[in-house]
């Protein structure tokens, strides 16, 4: 259980050194599930550099790989202890780094902070619920789980005096921090969102286009983009979309992350498949605004996603986050415009953005704020939006649905993000992993709860409890 704030006067400051000085000499003892690759690896690399934190435990099915990764990062090999049962976990030396194969053994340890990185909704919901009930703070990297169970897990944390938190370094928490900054300042937030993960890079001199995904980045010569390089309004966006159509996609991870933000803030999806305009940073304040002001939004108070278009010598948005705010005092915003801030051409809206997410390098901040100050991310979290899957083609009875790939997609399904009040009988997207269709589903139809067997699913139980809060 995290220590509560002893001196609330300190909260006026964003000097984290000051905020976190009342640790009482205690360190966050961190346990990680699913930790040796990707996000988890970046966190493992950073923990030894953080004075108020130590790695206590890793749960992974790949024990040998864990040892190799840890020693490669400079952890003392002699301090690494592999434990196979709860007795061994409980008896492990106080300075040992424990490795367990069974994730259930995590709860037998003396960790204060559990970082869940598996992406497995069944595993992460089980271990998160049990950890919160046992006084262990939970830091959820598995956005798939939070999209389904976040509201009820947040509620359980409140009941047991623990912390349930999304993590800095991933777009949802970074966007929520930016959103809360705007709200506390009294700014009217019209839209909030992120860049899709990979930039669209076009060279005006050579007409070479590069899509920044993967080590072998797709590229081609694309002179037809020249006509739509400079923004002239919505017709420019339509032109870019047509030229770049083969690189455009509705990405499951994007919609999932906006689902998380929607559930915490109350912001609604701008569109079921979000808008995904191809845009430069300088254009965002002209694009994510109401249609009557020349933008693309049919309503305000929404979450959305864009694809960042830039020249090779321009800085990347790198999966960063943004808010669009309505400008108030004309004199104030003329002054801010003169300093280079991104303001719409009509002067009515501005874009405030954070052009990065540094994965596990940032995550220690979330853990320390939770463990030392008892601060999570969720204020009043409720199920505002539901991510579902719509059949891309006719799907036959007996089809097995499986989450796979870097973007955590399901073959044959197009993800959509619906308002809860419109979701009705649809099944949340990340409850579908491993499910068999009980009947044929026609192209264009959402996967509903009656065409899969969700009985006995803990995440489904938690989801149902969450929507009743």
The string of pLDDT tens digits covering residues 154-207 is: 999 999 999 999 999 999 999 999 999 999 999 999 999 999 989 999 999 999
SS3 417: strand
Domains of the chain (ranges, CATH numbers) = 8-169+360-373 (3.40.50.720), 174-357 (no CATH), 385-467 (3.90.1210.10)
Residue-by-residue DSSP string for 178-233: HHHHHHHTT--EEEEEEE-SS-EEE-TTT-EEEE--SSS--EEE-GGGGGGSS--S
Instruction: Report the distance separating Cα 205 and Cα 203, nearest Å.
Output: 5
The string of pLDDT tens digits covering residues 374-413 is: 998 876 799 999 999 999 999 999 999 999 988 899 999 9
Q: 319 or 246: whose pLDDT is higher?
A: 246
Instruction: Report the distance separating Cα 197 and Cα 254, nearest Å.
Output: 8
Instruction: Report the distance separating Cα 115 and Cα 111, nearest Å.
Output: 10
Strands 189-195 and 321-326: antiparallel
How confident is the model at residue 7, as a pLDDT?
A: 41
pLDDT-based confidence at residue 14 (cuts at 50, 70, 90): low
Instruction: Report the distance separating Cα 385 and Cα 422, nearest Å.
Output: 9
How confident is the model at residue 6, as a pLDDT?
A: 40
Per-residue pLDDT for 151 more than 50? yes
pLDDT-based confidence at residue 243 (cuts at 50, 70, 90): very high
Strands 97-100 and 80-83: parallel
Average pLDDT (38-59) is 94
Whether 288 and 189 have beta carbons less than 8 Å apart is answered as: no
Q: Which residues, 6+ apart, have CB-to-CB distance to 376 below 8 Å?
A: 154, 157, 163, 164, 165, 370
Q: Is the pTM of this model over 0.85?
A: yes
How confident is the model at residue 21, as a pLDDT?
A: 79
Closest listed residue to residue 136, CA positions, set 174, 117, 164, 94: 164
Strands 53-59 and 97-100: parallel
The string of pLDDT tens digits covering residues 280-295 is: 999 999 999 999 999 9
Q: What is the mean pLDDT of the chain?
A: 93
Could you tell me where the beta strands, DSSP code E, fall in 301-341?
A: 302-310, 321-326
Measured in degrees and rounded to the nearest 5, phi and psi for residue 105 equal -70, -15
SS3 206: coil
SS3 378: coil
Could you give the percent of the chain with pLDDT greater than 90?
87
Closest listed residue to residue 97, CA positions, set 69, 128, 126, 127: 69
């Amino acid at each position: 259980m995290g220590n509560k704030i002893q001196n609330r006067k300190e909260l006026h400051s964003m000097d984290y050194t000051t905020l976190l000085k009342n640790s009482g000499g205690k360190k966050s003892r961190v346990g990680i599930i699913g930790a040796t690759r990707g996000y988890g690896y970046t966190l493992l690399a950073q923990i030894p550099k953080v004075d108020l934190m130590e790695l206590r435990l890793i749960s992974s099915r790949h024990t040998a790989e864990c040892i190799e990764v840890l020693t490669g990062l400079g952890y003392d090999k002699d301090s690494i202890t592999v434990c196979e049962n709860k007795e061994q976990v409980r008896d492990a030396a106080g300075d040992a780094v424990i490795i367990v194969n069974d994730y259930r053994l995590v709860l037998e340890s003396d960790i204060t902070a559990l970082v869940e990185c598996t992406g497995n909704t069944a595993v992460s919901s089980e271990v998160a619920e049990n950890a919160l009930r046992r006084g262990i703070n939970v830091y959820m990297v598995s956005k798939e789980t939070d999209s389904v169970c976040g509201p009820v897990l947040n509620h359980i944390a409140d009941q047991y005096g623990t912390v349930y938190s999304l993590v800095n370094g991933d777009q949802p928490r970074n966007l929520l921090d930016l959103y809360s900054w705007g709200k506390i300042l009294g700014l009217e937030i019209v839209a909030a969102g992120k860049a899709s993960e990979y930039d669209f890079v076009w060279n005006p001199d050579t007409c070479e286009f590069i899509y920044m995904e993967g080590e072998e980045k797709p590229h081609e010569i694309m002179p037809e983009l020249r006509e739509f390089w400079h923004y002239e309004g919505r017709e420019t966006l339509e032109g870019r979309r047509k030229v770049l159509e083969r690189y455009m996609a509705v990405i499951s991870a994007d919609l999932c992350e906006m689902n998380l933000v929607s559930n915490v803030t109350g912001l609604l999806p701008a569109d079921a498949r979000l808008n995904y305009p191809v845009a430069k940073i300088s254009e965002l304040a002209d694009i994510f605004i109401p249609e009557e002001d020349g933008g693309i939004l049919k309503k305000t108070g929404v979450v959305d996603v864009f694809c960042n278009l830039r020249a090779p010598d321009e800085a990347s948005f790198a999966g960063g986050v943004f808010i669009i705010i309505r400008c108030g005092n004309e004199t104030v915003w003329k002054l801010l415009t003169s300093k280079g801030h991104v303001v719409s051409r009509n002067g009515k809206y501005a874009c405030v953005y954070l052009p990065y997410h540094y994965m596990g390098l940032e995550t220690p901040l979330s853990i320390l704020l939770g463990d030392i100050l008892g601060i999570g991310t969720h204020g009043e979290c409720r199920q505002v939006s539901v991510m579902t899957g719509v059949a891309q083609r006719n799907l036959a009875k007996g089809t097995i649905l499986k989450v796979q790939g870097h973007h955590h997609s399901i073959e044959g399904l197009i993800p959509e993000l619906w308002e809860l009040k419109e979701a009705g009988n649809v099944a949340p997207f990340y409850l579908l992993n491993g499910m068999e269709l009980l009947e044929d589903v026609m192209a264009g139809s959402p996967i509903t709860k009656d065409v899969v067997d969700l009985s006995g699913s803990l995440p489904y139980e938690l989801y149902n409890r969450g929507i009743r809060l």
